[in-house]
Chains A and B, each alone.
Chain A
Amino acid sequence: MFHSTLTTFLLVVPLAVLTYAFDTFSEELLLKPLGNDHLYAHFQFATKWDTDPEQESFRHTHMFPRALGEIVARYNVQELHVSLTAGLWMYETWGYPIMDAAPGAELWVWFKEDTENVDKNWKELASSLSGLLCASLNFIDKTNSINPEYTFKPRGAVSSPTINSTFVRYSSLPREIVCTENLTPLKKLLPCEAKQGLGSLLNAGHIYNTRYHSMAIHMRPICRDSSCESVSLELQQSVSLVYDLLILEAKHWSFRKLFGQGVIGRCVLAETATIYVDTTNNESVPFQLKPDPDEYVTSFRGGYVHTYAKYDVQSYVMSLNANYLGKNKVVLNSPPAIYANQYITGYGQERGGIVTTIYNNHWSPLDVVFLQNIPWYVPIYLHTLKIDAGGVRIEPTRIHYIPGRQRERPYHLEVLVKLPARSITSLSIDFDYVFLKWQEYPPDANHGFYIGSAVVSTILPLARNYTGLPQDGSTISDSFNASRSGYLVQMRTESTVITLPTPDFSMPYNVICLACTVVALAFGPLHNITTKRLILIVKDNEHFIVKLKNKVVGIWTRRTSE
């Protein structure tokens, strides 16, 4: 027995060790001025691990965080996308982010095709992630999840010929707050944590002072080479921040101002550690970078040219300053090709409508997939769905609708629609306000109930205002010169709040008593009618007191007469 153990051991151990030899980690930071008054900072940490996800047990990992690996292995996950966001990305003025994320928490996962009970795995996966990320993701379950048919296709490499959407789950928790306790675990998943490298810039005290902040973890299998016969596991961890320069009280910015400190050395585990500063607009809004960049990179992508100042992170404490030169010029902002807004119509707490307005500024029609996951407490009426562009009613190409059920399943609406060129299209649908049981209301019932943001997806033919990563890329540098036939954007609209009518929470006993009394009011007379009969009896005309008096007098007279 020992011999066999020994032989297996000796055979196995070297492989076990060797498997982690092929993983690489890179970290990048992109700084991009957004218009006149905002600054976008995007941290991209990418780990690529040349292991077969089908075979990998995640018992031994090197750069890949084992805590996440265990969860992925246990719940048979093929692709995992989770983001925690506060604030709203303003597509109209800021263009497109590198990674779209809905306000609050958003989770979408592809399970492997041999998963037996997807719903159970999904629930427990969300619960496990809630422990990993210190967020209330454990509130995700069947009652607020959908399996999108068209919107969320696998981002990574797949081997099966067909895509079966029963293995994808999507859910969002728009109410979820994001704070230091979520950043702490994210930092712990980084190979160098926050001790060295770009991670050291993630200081809670500074990054929560922003207009928009989003942290995300995306894990997927990617092609290892161009033949794509074997795959690697890729993990992207990202933190996106949009600083409002008005809050920073100066147009000039520096690492110290943005992050509280400079980069503390270079993460020794990182293969590349780079900082990019978008200098495309440097002609209209010139700023001077200090120190001087190592080089300037020019990227031609989808018909647009971008220039970036590139810095390699050095092993000493490194900081960066940008000083704006000359007087302020107003940058004329050209809105991106497509963006969307969402709002609630109606007043009162009886009936309302959800309206999504999609602006197509492109010169040609655009194919758009609109996805909305509407909670069960907002019952929508599909026959009230109206899509019109400038007063002209548009017939959707296809509607995928799965009606919700109270307390069981949300309403899942996916609309495929072709937007006319240069148009403003509005999608509206009516809903009713529902009345819940008193114990179903949250402790702050009058704060309101959230309807998550809609996802508007399209493939842009041009890369104007586009910064997203290509499907086969994992780092920001992969997006340079990455011209493709189309550029995917998945915009998230505003999440909205409705105030459901509330009962009086202090009334349960009173209501139960009163309603039962009314039932008793019927029971009493009906019982009398059906069980008794009418008879005549001699009317006793005497008043009660007179009767009493007579009785007393009677007794008294009897006594005296004795």
Chain B
Amino acid sequence: MSRRARLLQAKDEPYETRTIISMYMLGIFIRFWLIYSKYQSIIGHHVEISTPLNSWKRVSEGLYVQSKGINPYEGDLIHEAPVILLLYRILTQTFYLPAEFLFLLVDSLTAVVLYFVAKKYMFHLFVFQEKQKGEYAQDSKEFILSGADFLNSPVFVMAAFLFNPYTIFNCVGLSTTVFHNFFLAIFLLFMLQGNPILAPIALAFSAVMSLYAGVLISPLFLYLYVIYKDKVRAYIALGVFTLTLVALTCFSYVLGSGSAFLKNVYGFILTVPDLQPNIGLFWYFFTEMFDHFRELFICSFQINATVLYLIPLSVKFRNDPFLLTTAVLFLVAIFKSYPCLGDIGFVMSLFPCFMHLFMYAQQGFLVGVIFLITSALGPILWHLWIYSNSANANFYFGVTLAFAIAEIFLVTDILFAYMKREFCLKYGSERKIDGKEAILMLE
């Protein structure tokens, strides 16, 4: 019996609404409990969760300084765009929402949106499969997705978001990545619905927050162009995205009273002046970098994080832009200058959409083990280094390296799996040439 058959046996029935809702409540409850517990500040202070870019402490500082009549972009503690700062100000000061409640609310909304994202994607997958069925090989029936797969994946996506410790900590630690993820989730939903107005607007908000999200314009374009086969909508989306970006920037210009915010927000993301450790690759690399090579390596690392893989992947996976979106999001989350667990958690919660690929993946065990070990070792070695002075930066750096390797393995594994599945659907699972044993090779 194949793994897949076993999986099917295990859960063939779709989940009841009651189960889903209770699961949802449980997810929110965990967050609620943690966010009002004494662990909140411990979690919120961890460098894996809050980076200079997304820590709520810095946002509070920005809001406070602003309320004192000082331009927050004069200093360099605040790295949120003025529009976003305005949003926080309205939410916390005009509506008097406590920050904890705000984060709970937004995070639980994200979970709902993701549920619908997955549902929509599964629908697309179903349509696509029906369309392609004629081209599939005879013995590939086993690989074709059934009704339960389509119905359960959204539940798994929501569960993965609600119960992933990375996203829980992200919300509890009050990292503004929660808002970023919310905009991203909205973007995904509208992208899958083929909405050429709201999708780019949501994307523009994410891009204003983190800059890197802007690369997702490529999958959006492909989605409208290839899946919806609508050139006009695709170009409208491009135009709306550009317009929204320009509008938001101009608005920021007015709000931030001048261009100081550009240096503070985007200059900060691009040139990496703050070398506080995080789970990414930049901090130690640029701590130890020789000054005369700094620019060169900053440029190459930023290109690596943004466009280097975008174009080839867009070409290769143009037929499944959602997979492309996930892959690009994941690569950005690995290689961006100030990544946090919230970014990783968000992408990982999208993975149940690709459950049909898991059986082709080979490194699940390895990746899982590394994730477990590094997640445990990271805070321990941090404590040893910073508080007990019995370890040093190299230890923590080693952990972040291993973590990055696990992420890389995961994303490449999924992409390989996709290719293998495509191959199997086309040529069947029989791997024989002229009756001889054969193996799959990349050529």
Contact = CB atoms under 8 A, between A and B. Distances in A.
- The answer to whether any beta carbons of A and B sit under 8 Å apart in the complex is yes
Interface of A: 347-351, 379, 381-383, 399, 401-407, 411, 432, 434-439, 501-504, 507-508, 511-512, 514-515, 518-519, 521-523, 525-539, 541
Given A401-B65, A533-B419, 7 more contacts: A432-B276, A437-B287, A501-B386, A503-B392, A504-B394, A519-B301, A538-B438
29 contacts: A350-B45, A350-B387, A381-B60, A382-B61, A382-B65, A383-B63, A402-B75, A404-B75, A406-B274, A411-B75, A432-B276, A435-B283, A437-B289, A501-B386, A501-B393, A507-B394, A508-B290, A511-B285, A511-B288, A518-B404, A519-B281, A519-B304, A522-B412, A527-B312, A530-B312, A534-B419, A535-B442, A535-B443, A538-B433
Interface in B273-321: 273-277, 281, 283-291, 301, 304, 308-309, 312-313, 315-316
Contacts of A434: 274-276
Contact of A530 (B287, B316, B411, B441): B316
A383 to B, nearest CB: 4
Interface in B215-274: 273-274
A438 B440 CA distance: 47
A530 B312 CA distance: 6
B65 A403 contact: yes
Contacts of B286: 437
A537 B288 contact: no
Contact of A537 (B45, B65, B70, B441): B441
Contacts of B419: 529, 533-534
A512 B423 contact: no
B387 to A, nearest CB: 4
A381 B77 contact: yes
B287 A503 contact: yes
Contact of B288 (A405, A512, A526): A512
A532 B416 CA distance: 11
Contacts of B61: 381-383
Contacts of B60: 381, 383
Contacts of B72: 403
Closest 5 CB pairs of A and B: A403-B75, A530-B312, A383-B64, A525-B412, A348-B387
A520 to B, nearest CB: 10
A406 B273 contact: yes
Contacts of B64: 382-383
B385 interface: yes
A507 B288 contact: yes
Contacts of A405: 74-76
Contacts of B322: none
> A interface, by DSSP: helix, strand, loop or mixed?
mixed
Given A381-B77, A535-B443, A403 B70 contact: yes
B262 to A, nearest CB: 14
A503 B386 contact: no
A531 B313 CA distance: 9
Contact of A533 (B301, B408, B443): B443
* Interface size range of chain B in the complex: 35 or more
A351 B42 CA distance: 12
Count chain A CB atoms within 10 A of each CB in B74, B284, B427 and give the residue with the most: B284
Contacts of B373: none
Contacts of A511: 284-285, 287-288, 397
Contacts of A503: 284, 287-288, 392-393
B68 A348 contact: no
Contacts of B304: 519, 523
Nearest to B297: A512
B76 A539 contact: no
Contacts of A411: 75
A134 to B, nearest CB: 30
Contacts, number: 185
B427 to A, nearest CB: 8
Nearest to B416: A529
A512 B443 contact: no
Given A435-B275, A438-B287, A533 B313 contact: no
Contacts of B275: 434-437
Nearest to B442: A532
Nearest to B432: A536
A348 B57 contact: no
Nearest to A514: B401
Contacts of B291: 437, 439
B436 A539 contact: yes
Interface string B48-89: 000000000110110111001010101111000000000000
A526 B313 contact: yes
A533 B75 contact: no
B335 interface: yes
Nearest to B387: A348
Contacts of B404: 518
Contacts of A402: 70, 74-75
A519 B335 CA distance: 8
A344 B184 CA distance: 42
Nearest to A349: B386
Contact of A522 (B74, B408, B433, B434): B408
B381 interface: no
A508 to B, nearest CB: 4
Nearest to B286: A437
B312 A526 contact: yes
Interface string B378-400: 00000001110000111001000
Nearest to B422: A534
A382 B443 contact: no
Given A348-B387, A530-B315, A512 B274 contact: no
A222 B129 CA distance: 92
Contact of B68 (A382, A406, A407): A382
A446 to B, nearest CB: 10
Contact of B334 (A403, A439, A522): A522
Contacts of A350: 45, 386-387
B405 interface: yes
Nearest to B313: A530
A526 B412 CA distance: 7
Q: Which of A404, A439, A518 has the most CB of B within 10 A?
A: A518
B348 interface: no
Contacts of B405: 518, 521
A435 B394 contact: no
B335 A407 contact: no
Residue with the greatest number of chain A CB neighbours at <10 A, chosen from B75, B427, B434: B75
Nearest to A533: B443
Interface in B322-340: 331, 334-335
B415 A533 contact: no
B420 interface: yes
A402 B277 CA distance: 27
B41 to A, nearest CB: 10
B280 to A, nearest CB: 10
Nearest to B301: A519
A331 B201 CA distance: 77
A434 B386 CA distance: 12
B438 A537 contact: yes
Contact of A525 (B277, B301, B416): B416
B288 A438 contact: yes
Contacts of B273: 406-407
Nearest to A383: B64
Contacts of A523: 304, 308
Contact of B436 (A381, A525, A538): A538
B10 interface: no
Nearest to B58: A381
Nearest to A381: B61
B393 to A, nearest CB: 5
A514 to B, nearest CB: 6
Given A382-B65, A435-B275, A530-B312, A403 B76 contact: yes
B437 interface: yes
Nearest to A505: B288
Contacts of A518: 281, 401, 404-405, 408
B364 to A, nearest CB: 16
Contacts of A541: 437
